[in-house]
Amino acid sequence: MSQDEYYRGILDRISDAFIGLFVYLISTIRKGWREKNRSRIAEWKLMFYALNRSPPGVIGLFLVTIFVFLGIFGPLIAPYKYNYFPIFENSKTYLSPPGEFFVLGADHFGRDLLSLLLQGARTSLVISIIVILLGVPAGIILGLIAGYFGGKIDELIMRITDMFLAFPPLILAIAFAAVLPDRISYLINTYPPLQQFLLWLFALERTEGGNLSRLLAVMIAMAVVWWPGYARITRGSTLTEREALYVESARAIGLPSSKIMLRHILPNIIGPILVYVTLDFGTVVLTEAGLSFLGLGATPPIADWGRIVYDGTQFFPNAWWLIIFPGFIVFLDVLGWNLLGDALRDVLDPKLRRSIEFKVKKVKKSKTKDMEIKEVEHE
Amino acid sequence: MSKKILEVKNLTVHFYTYAGIVKAIEEVSFDVFEGETFALVGETGCGKSVTARAITQLIESPGRIVRGEVYYNPDGERLNLLELPDEEIRTIRGNDIAYIFQDPQSSLDPLYNVGYQVSESLFVHGRVKSIKDGIKKAVNILRTVLLPDPERRVSNYPHELSGGMKQRVTIGIGISNDPRILIADEPTTALDVTVQAQILWLIKEMKKRYGVTVILITHDMGVVADMADRVAVMYAGKIVEVAEVTEVFKNPVHPYTQGLLKAVPNPLKKIERLETIPGTVPSLINPPSGCRFHPRCPEISKVCKEKIPELREVKKNHFVACHNR
Amino acid sequence: MAELKKFLVRRMLTFIPTIIGITLIVFAIAYLIPADPARAWAGGEKASQKAIELVKERYHLNEPWYDQYIFLITGLIKNEIIDPRTSNPVMDDVGKRFPVTFQLALFAYFFVLAIGIPLGLISALKRDTAIDTFVRIFALIGVSTPVFWLGYILIYIFFVNIRIINLAGVPPSPEIVITHVPVIDSLITGNFELFRQHVARFWLPGFVLGFMGAGVVARFVRNSFLEAISGDYIEFLKAKGVPKLRVYRHAMKNSLVPIITVLGLQFGVLLSGAPITETVFGLPGIGLYAVFSIGTLDFPAIVAVTLLFALVYVIANLIVDIFYAVIDPRVRY
Ligand SMILES: Nc1ncnc2c1ncn2[C@@H]1O[C@H](COP(=O)(O)OP(=O)(O)O)[C@@H](O)[C@H]1O
Ligand SMILES: [Mg+2]
């Protein structure tokens, strides 16, 4: 118990520091923000405390931190480069099982699976982030517009949104991913800075320039599928927020609509959307792996978790490690995001939040008199 | 004076919430006599509903009845309701002690017609063989609560009825098993003013006809004056004064009761918030020490902060919890 | 009844724009294809100019886009479009493969319901206990598991090791066709041997495809049930002295309304997930067909598949609406 308390204390202090830093940053940009939002800051702190008391949330946060870390530093700490083919030097490395040449075995080019997985962490992270960065703001903006203006505009946007929602997302993504590369390769080839930037993002070498368009196509395809969900939830929250007093008064003093939407409504509805993003991040990772498992997206020698499995299936069941390990990594990554998102959702829901911390010890009902109840005081 | 049908002793209910332990009611004691109308008054959030529900163990997690006894004394028996196992307390609820809640809008299950819901309350206490059999009786019950056109209404769904009609249906459900005690928790708060009087009249009528004991919860002093025989005044989870209704209006003793009545010179006015007593209802997570009213009390002395006042009989049948009286 | 019929017709009419919209989107994607589809269809690089012209003529590729679109859609509906790749009428190809996918989705749906609903209810009834935690973790694991990974692990266990499933081909359809879904037809017509074969072939892919949905549904059932059981009318039921099981029945019925929505959506999700499952288990279904069609720029086929998916979506929605109307008296026709 005291051990528990000790670690929670540390976690609480870390989260306090984190919020403190965040608040400090905001209040340097906007003077007086801290004073105006005291209750909100206190609420955030409570949320983090609650998160720290939810073991799945802590595990999720831990996994997510690891995978973000690996996404950033994975290619640097990988023992071998993704485009180093040992098979040319030693033909025995061909599909060598775990432990023989490399800890986790090798693929059909004799490449070290561990290094590929580390490199693949970058691919996965970059694609997921870009999909979120493209899809989520688009959805939020459309949802804001639909919810704020209502009427015909709302009707039109939501009809289109419904169409995209009606569509099996994987099929739509497949269609886009198959069709786009030819278009994009032209774009990439005519803008060398873009090409270089992408190569740097994915930690790839110059020689892979030609393969970038397929990666980019997958990202765009997924972004196209991803915005409708966000348009929906943003519209929903905007509709309720639109009636709030502060929006009325902002309108009354003649602020432009765009300003009201972005400066006033958005900050008030962003919380739940961010939780949704957290939950969704896992789905993005999973979908990306699925697409590359179907042979879309990354092509060898670019390392990609789904693609490793796709190539490995030819050698199934002999080279089982090419399927089991990458699949497990995808699983852990997605699980991390889902655990974190799930815990965050509880924390954001005031009704559920109560139950996180106060797990009252169950006492037999018959003894109503002087029941002893473990009282867990907060603060 | 007739016999005590219900004795509540030291009833204490806590809610274990994220923000802390809400000590919703603490050491609440009162008696209810057979055949009377006993009113429980106080500001919103002072624990009236919690008290009423705790009587038949209707407290849900995160709440818990921490302590106390509730003796129900039907003919020749003395039952501690809080010690009864689930199945036995169930047969008491609705059968011996029935409830009407504040919001008829949400008291009825939207997916079943009202005939079914009335009949169901007969069925679960073994008064009819099946729900279908009970429909005819349901029509009669709905007729006694003056629901217009009951033959047709029994097959209506709740959303097809007005608020007042729905409350008539819940009253019908309440009296359907001819209970000994009817607990009406703010039965008119959610209704239109015009309908309120009708519903109160109906409750009186039911009381006359069935001789049921009524525990009426309200924050409306006008309703108290109109309906009650005796009154208990609650503040922040504790009972501060109990007396007969005329006594409370004529000689209020507790400073809170006095403030309450001063705030409502016209008893027909509602007391949502007390403007004449400075301050607000305290947090029940960290209630004030000693007398919970002391931060707002005009006549505070040292002992008020230190000692919790007990209910004392200051006059015959007039109980007050205050150190200074 | 007449009311219900009118309601359904009205609902169907509102679905038409959705279907047109979806096919338009896909058509636009197909239109984006920069490579010359006519050349590909006429036989690739070495196609003669004449053959290419013929293909263009045949598929109206020289006409403006709206003409092409109308030609394609009406042609598909009348089943007059010949697939350039397989030289069969497109809808024949699609019609051959769709039952496989549909059957796969049915098996998956079975697992979604059979696992998801009981687990959700148990979890709600035993909330905040070890069982509840277990279901929660199961659901999170469900949505986190890559379908291909789970598929291969299970193939490894059941096929490579204990060899109790087979992975080749698909059992034949029964002689008498009633529903076009072989497993149902063989059951109705009493052909139990064939039924057994279908179950043997499809249960594992169905389980893999349904695994994710089972967790999602379990969680959703749990939350809807808890939401329903915290309703005010539940408190009134308890105050009425209604026994526990009966109270649960009320809560169940009330929680069914949101649950049905999710179950309706799940069917679409299952169909959408079909390509990966079909790839892993080598099932010649519509998902695999779509992936392959996209790879070969066979866009009449792509549009046909889309049309079909849109129809399934619309029908699933319609069924959900009917359930609503039956369960909830507040829904007006
Ligand atoms: N489910 C609950 N969770 C937490 N606190 C509760 C709950 N129900 C009631 N309370 C607390 O109990 C106190 C008394 O509530 P209640 O009896 O409903 O007041 P009222 O007098 O208006 O009927 C309130 O302060 C409220 O905060
Ligand atoms: Mg109340």
Domain CATH code at residue B14: 3.40.50.300
The reply to whether B67 touches chain A by the CB within 8 Å rule is yes
Q: In Å, how far is B117's CA from the nearest CA of chain C?
A: 9
Taking CB atoms and an 8 Å limit, are A371 and B67 in contact across chains?
yes
What is the model's pLDDT at position C32?
65
* Nearest listed ligand to the Cα of residue B41: 1
Prediction ipTM score: 0.90
What is the model's pLDDT at position B73?
92
A266-283: per-residue pLDDT in tens?
Answer: 888 887 788 788 888 999
Share above pLDDT 70 across residues of chain A, in percent, rounded to a whole number: 91
Q: Give the dihedral of Cα atoms C287, C290, C294, C300; nearest 10 deg.
A: -170
Nearest-Cα residue of chain C relative to residue A356: C128
Question: B139: pLDDT confidence band, cut at 50, 70 and 90?
Answer: very high
Nearest-Cα residue of chain C relative to residue A291: C276
CB B179 within 8 A of CB B212: yes
Q: A227 is written with which tokens?
A: 């915005």
Alpha carbon distance B172, B175 (integer Å): 5
Residue bearing the CA closest to ligand 1, atom 20: B45
Taking CB atoms and an 8 Å limit, are B109 and C327 in contact across chains?
no
Q: Which residues in chain A are closer than 8 Å to B62, comparing Cβ atoms?
A: 354-355, 358, 360
Nearest-Cα residue of chain B relative to residue C257: B111
- Residue B164 CA from chain centroid, whole number: 19
Taking CB atoms and an 8 Å limit, are B110 and C241 in contact across chains?
no
CA distances from C181 to C98, C172, C232 (A): 9, 11, 45
State mean pLDDT over A71-98.
83
- Ligand 1 pocket check for B22: Cβ under 6 Å: yes
What does pLDDT average to over chain C? 84
Taking CB atoms and an 8 Å limit, are B111 and C239 in contact across chains?
no
Which of A286-290, C3-7, C32-36 tops mean pLDDT? A286-290
What is the model's pLDDT at position B29?
94
Alpha carbon distance A103, A87 (integer Å): 16
| Probe target for ligand 1 pocket from B16, B43, B49, with the most ligand atoms within 8 Å of CB | B49
Residues 6+ apart with CB under 8 A from C66: none
- Residue B5 CA from chain centroid, whole number: 15
Question: A357: pLDDT confidence band, cut at 50, 70 and 90?
Answer: very low
C296: pLDDT strictly greater than 60: yes
Longest dimension (CA), chain A: 81
Residues 6+ apart with CB under 8 A from A255: A264
The reply to whether C75 touches chain A by the CB within 8 Å rule is no
Strands B230-235 and B238-244: antiparallel
Residue B192 placed within a domain: yes
Residue B125 placed within a domain: no
Host H or E run for residue A325: helix A321-348
Alpha carbon distance B319, B30 (integer Å): 10
Taking CB atoms and an 8 Å limit, are C26 and A175 in contact across chains?
yes
Indicate the domain borders of chain C. Answer: 90-287
Host H or E run for residue B248: helix B245-250
- Ligand 1 pocket check for B24: Cβ under 6 Å: yes
| Candidates B60, B109, B120, B155, partner chain C, best to mutate (most C CBs within 10 A) | B109
What is the model's pLDDT at position C278?
92
Any bridge partners for residue B308, and if so which? none
Strands B238-244 and B79-80: unpaired
Alpha carbon distance C8, A228 (integer Å): 26
Cα–Cα nearest to C81, from C309, C300, C310: C300
Q: B73 is written with which tokens?
A: 């004394």
State mean pLDDT over B164-183.
92
Closest ligand 1 atom, residue B281 Cα: 25
- Ligand 1 pocket check for B182: Cβ under 6 Å: no
3-class DSSP string for B8-51: EEEEEEEEEECCEEEEEEEEEEEEEECCCEEEEECCCCCCHHHH
What is the model's pLDDT at position B45?
86
CA of B236 to the centre of ligand 2 (A): 13
Residue B136 placed within a domain: no
What is the model's pLDDT at position B265?
55
Residue ranges and CATH numbers for the domains of chain A are: 1-52+350-379 (no CATH), 119-348 (1.10.3720.10)
What is the model's pLDDT at position A375?
36
Read off φ and ψ for residue A37, nearest 5 degrees. -115, 30
Q: In Å, how far is B83's CA from the nearest CA of chain A?
A: 6
CA distances from B8 to B41, B51, B187, B237, B311 (A): 16, 9, 22, 14, 13
Question: B38: pLDDT confidence band, cut at 50, 70 and 90?
Answer: very high
Closest ligand 1 atom, residue B51 Cα: 17
* Nearest listed ligand to the Cα of residue B48: 1
Rg, Å, chain B Cα set: 20
A356: pLDDT strictly greater than 70: no
What is the model's pLDDT at position C332?
64
Q: A324 is written with which tokens?
A: 């089991």
Fold of C90-287: MetI-like fold (1.10.3720)
Question: Who among C233, C235, C243 is closest to B90 (CB)?
Answer: C243
Range of the domain at B60: 4-96+179-320
Residue B129 placed within a domain: no
Domain count for chain B: 1
Alpha carbon distance C119, C213 (integer Å): 12
CA of A363 to the centre of ligand 1 (A): 22
What is the model's pLDDT at position A12?
82
Residue B270 placed within a domain: yes
CB B105 within 8 A of CB B166: yes
- Ligand 1 pocket check for B14: Cβ under 6 Å: no
CB C185 within 8 A of CB C177: yes
Share above pLDDT 90 across residues of chain C, in percent, rounded to a whole number: 23
Taking CB atoms and an 8 Å limit, are C239 and B92 in contact across chains?
no
Taking CB atoms and an 8 Å limit, are B93 and C232 in contact across chains?
no
CA distances from A164 to A28, A111, A232 (A): 41, 40, 11
Taking CB atoms and an 8 Å limit, are B56 and C329 in contact across chains?
no
- Ligand 1 pocket check for B284: Cβ under 6 Å: yes
A361: pLDDT strictly greater than 50: no
Q: A160 is written with which tokens?
A: 């289109």
The reply to whether A98 touches chain C by the CB within 8 Å rule is no
What is the model's pLDDT at position C136?
87
What is the model's pLDDT at position B128?
93
Decide: helix, strand or coil at residue B103. coil
What is the model's pLDDT at position C61?
77
Alpha carbon distance B167, B147 (integer Å): 10
Taking CB atoms and an 8 Å limit, are A170 and C21 in contact across chains?
no
C135-181: per-residue pLDDT in tens?
Answer: 888 889 998 999 999 999 998 888 777 766 667 777 887 777 777 78
Any bridge partners for residue B182, and if so which? B98, B214
CA of A371 to the centre of ligand 1 (A): 21
Task: Please give the DSSP secondary-structure letter assigned to residue B160.
Answer: G
Which of A363-367, B68-72, C52-56, C88-92 tops mean pLDDT? B68-72
CA of B25 to the centre of ligand 2 (A): 13
State mean pLDDT over C237-259.
92
State mean pLDDT over C321-327.
83
